[in-house]
Amino acid sequence: MNEFKVAGKNIPRYDLPDKVVGTAKFAADVTAVQPLVGLILRSPLPHARIVSIDTKKAKEIPGVRTVLKGNDCPPHLFGLEIKDMCWLARDGYVRYIGDPVAAIAAESIDAAQAALDSIQVNYEALEPVVDLLEARDGKGPLVHEDWEKIGLGPNREGNVIGRYEMAMGDVGAAMEKADHIFEHTFQTPYAHSGYIEPHACTVEPGADGKITIWTTTQAPFVIRDQVAAALGITLTKVKVIPTEIGGGFGGKIHSFVEHIIALLALKSGRTVRHEMTREDDHNGVGPRQGLRIHLKTGVTSDGKILARETDVIVDHGAYGPGAPTQASSRIPMFTSCYNIPDCSVTMASVYTNGPICGSVRGPCGPQCFFATEVHLDIIARELGIDPFEIRRKNGIRKGDTGLFGTQKDDGMLKVLESTAKEGNWGEAIETNVDLEGPGWKLGRGLAVSFWRGSGGASACTARLNADGSIQLLSGSVNLTGATTSMCQIAAEMMDIGFEQVSFDSGDTDTAPESIHAAGSMLTRSMGAAVIVAVDDLKEKIRGVAAEKLEADPDDLKIEGGCVSSISTPERSMSLSEVAKVAPGISGYIMGQGETQTPAFCPIYTAQIAEVAVNLDSGEVKILRLVCSQDVGFAMNPISVVGQMEGGMLQGIGLALMEEQPRDEAGNIFGGTLHEYLLPTSLDVPELKTVMVENKADDTPYGMRGVGEPPILAAPAAIMNAIADAVGARFFDIPVGPHHICEAIGKKSETQKTR
């Protein structure tokens, strides 16, 4: 138990009532007067030249108001760090299945669909780029023939968007001292964010040329900026109103459709609504990047890691607007959990004819730790060392230096030891799960992970209402319950009840610009701005109260909804009374808080998985998952546990079922939730979460980020558990029953030939 009244307590989410009764308004619930229906025609081919496109029949269909193709759009390229994106195949090429080709606005869905179906596109199919090694090494065709005109990253060439490298020590010399050298290569596929609510938006054009966008987004200011840049208009001409959001996981940060629907609205002069189909969402919205990871590690016979070389290729798909940061910022992860004094990581981000890859929960993290933790497990088993002991022996400690800097504490060892204790490491596996029939083998696996803990500049206002309640306003949306934590902070500081504080995200015209809801950084970053805003509010409250009470502001305290004199407690007034007299003294009372981007705040997790594997069918049952996470301080413990459990379940998906596979012809599969399998309630095992409160420096209440870390180690822990059960290793994920049966068969054949 902590000493706080509101902070650190289990409080139901601020937005819970509306979502429970169904009154919360999501993007598809936005109403408008006689809106047009917007639809987008997308490429069925991964790589092709558009020989011709005929929209004449589409324009003749009754009810069709606007038909757009490439040459009807602004001529410039746009994007984030890299300006390589264009409107509707403007340069005459499509580069991935789902690449927008044309757009329709019509009076009804039937008219819009008929118009879309009538557009005749003649494609000349081109050889697609699908192999990451060939893309990096300059073999095969180019995704962008005009790559030299695009401002890419360092050492760019052909299909290479950029090459990045970090190194420490003398890797070659350290490798020569090693008793053993291990090398393994791992590969991971595209994986969709898997949210329930597909992308949807409504765009209304104003008579003055200003557009208002209602959309499901994690980042309203990012949408505003990207739409304005794509249209070539000023930011003041774009207003974004975020709706409730039915899941995002990083897939709702950037503009995938908003800029196209905005152009339809401007061209037609009418409000346009667009809802993505599940198939279009799966093909047209950025999945998790596919990675190829090669690891080479030198160790002593007793398991001490001396050196590691890591070579990574990141598949960014057909366009790489955020590729430089998405790639280079992940490099330290590959050596983050262990003290490896001599190490190097080289990384190349490449174009392929795949979907535009982007940020999905823990970007590049599950892929990284699947590789590094399975690799280390193999080393431990080969050397006859307990997997827990090899991690404890090499675990990074306070004062150690890695590619991310000097370690500030022993967070990694704390979560490792906590997980081993809670996960009964070294003991026999006990389960209440009914394992029908013969052939079941039990296994237990361990993995650790690291998240850098980024942050962002934030701003917030805090207004004192006439009834003494507090209204917070900021441009950050409520995705994971962060607004509840913000209200807790304000209530704690004001010494009032949680129910007396409310939070509003506003819109991009009225709310203070702030960090978006992603990257496990919102609560920590926004929390700092709330503290500054409430401190400012309290100072102004004391100033007004001092006038009425004829007291020194420094002699006043705010407690229990009242302002009173410390020296003469009988002189007091309520917050409501202060608010009511304020207009005649200083004006309405509003606190303002702005904070800069905070320093990185490392977060470690460790997980243990217990599994049962059927040697005959290859079926895998996850029996138990245990996760210890360094949360710093749990502002709302029940919310933190929810994030941890959600991340663990998504990790099950990545390990066993989730992928958007691509064949050699560039075709992407898994376009619906019938094909793209997600964990359901039937897949939920026993879950054990342990919050390690290792408070961080220079962060509100010592909080650390929460959302990203719990997914990172889960796939590796599960794969290590499967290997423990069946005695075979897997270097690609996800792993299905057919993979396990094949591996067991190969193992049996090998044993027969010995």
Final residue before a domain boundary, out of 563, 595, 627: 595
**Strand 440-451 versus strand 405-406 pairing type:** unpaired
- pLDDT of 752 > 70? The answer is no
Give the model's confidence band at 750: pLDDT under 50 very low, under 70 low, under 90 confident, else very high: low
pLDDT on residue 560: 96
Specify whether 445 is located in the same domain as 465. Answer: no
Residue 23 DSSP label = -
Burial of 622 (0-12, 13-18, 19+ CB in 10 A): buried
> What is the total count of domains within the chain?
3
- Confirm whether 173 is domain-assigned: no
Last residue of a domain, one of 595, 620, 653: 595
Query: What radius of gyration do the chain's Cα atoms show?
Result: 28
Does residue 2 surpass a pLDDT of 90?
no
Enter the pTM of the model.
0.96
Residue 186 lies in a domain: no
**Domain-located, residue 180:** no
- 109-126 average pLDDT score: 98
pLDDT above 80 for 1: no
Please state, rounded to an integer, the average pLDDT across all residues of the chain: 95
Domain check: are 381 and 474 in the same one?
Answer: no
Same domain for 300 and 428: yes
213 and 96 together in one domain: yes
Question: Is residue 285 assigned to a domain?
Answer: no
Which candidate, 742, 442, 448, places its Cα nearest to that of 621? 442
H or E segment to which residue 623 belongs:
strand 620-630
- Are 420 and 500 found together in one domain? no
CB-side exposure of 424: number of CA atoms within 13 Å? 12
Confidence band, pLDDT 50/70/90 cuts, at residue 436: confident
Shared domain for 564 and 649, answered yes or no, is no
Q: Out of 572, 595, 618, pick the residue that ends a domain.
A: 595
Do you find a cis peptide bond into 734, omega within 30 degrees of 0? Answer: yes
pLDDT tens, residue by residue, 123-176: 999 999 999 999 999 999 999 998 888 877 778 899 999 999 999 999 999 999
Residue 388 falls inside a structural domain: yes
Looking at the fold, whether 652 and 588 belong to one and the same domain comes out as: no
Q: Is 365 helix (H, G, I), strand (E, B) or coil?
A: helix
Alpha carbon distance 731, 432 (integer Å): 30
Q: What is the pLDDT of residues 699-711, one digit of tens each?
A: 899 999 999 999 9
* pLDDT level of residue 325 (50, 70, 90 thresholds): confident
- Please state the rounded mean pLDDT for residues 469-498: 95
pLDDT per residue over 233-253, tens digit each? 999 999 999 999 999 999 999
Cα 298 from Cα 302, distance rounded (Å): 12
- Candidates 403, 378, 181; CA nearest to 296 is 181
- pLDDT for residue 671: 84
We report the CATH number of the domain holding residue 63 as: 3.90.1170.50
Residue 684: inside a domain, yes or no?
yes
pLDDT at 437 over 90: no
> Is the model's pLDDT at 81 over the cut of 90?
no
pLDDT for position 187: 98
Cβ neighbour number for residue 567 with a 10 Å cutoff: 10
In 522-609, which ranges are continuous DSSP H helix?
A: 522-549, 575-581
Instruction: Give the pLDDT of residue 47.
Output: 97
Average pLDDT of 548-576?
96
Within 120-256, residue ranges assigned H as helices are 132-136, 171-177, 220-231
Least confident window among 300-304, 663-667, 688-692: 663-667
Model confidence at 327: pLDDT above 90 = no
Please report where in the chains the tokens 């379940």 appear, as a residue.
Answer: 649
With respect to residue 22, please indicate whether it lies within any of the assigned structural domains.
Answer: no
CATH number (domain holding residue 303):
3.30.365.10
Q: pLDDT confidence of 571, banded at 50, 70, 90?
A: very high
Q: Are residues 374 and 401 in the same domain?
A: yes
Distance set, CA 534 to CA 9, 154, 527, 591, 597 (Å):
20, 44, 10, 6, 19
Q: What pLDDT score does 478 carry?
A: 87
Residues 461 and 482 in one domain: yes
Q: Are residues 552 and 444 part of one domain?
A: no
Cα separation, 198 vs 595, whole angstroms:
33
Rounded to an integer, the average pLDDT of 299-304 is 98
Query: Domain residues for 657?
Result: 290-453+600-753
- Report yes or no on 162 lying in a domain: no
Looking at the structure, do residues 228 and 334 belong to the same domain, yes or no? Answer: no
- Give the pLDDT confidence score for residue 244 in this predicted structure: 94
Maximum alpha-carbon separation in the chain: 96
Element (H, E) at 405: strand 405-406
Task: Tell which wins on pLDDT, 613 or 481.
Answer: 613
Check whether residue 271 and residue 329 sit in a common domain. Answer: no
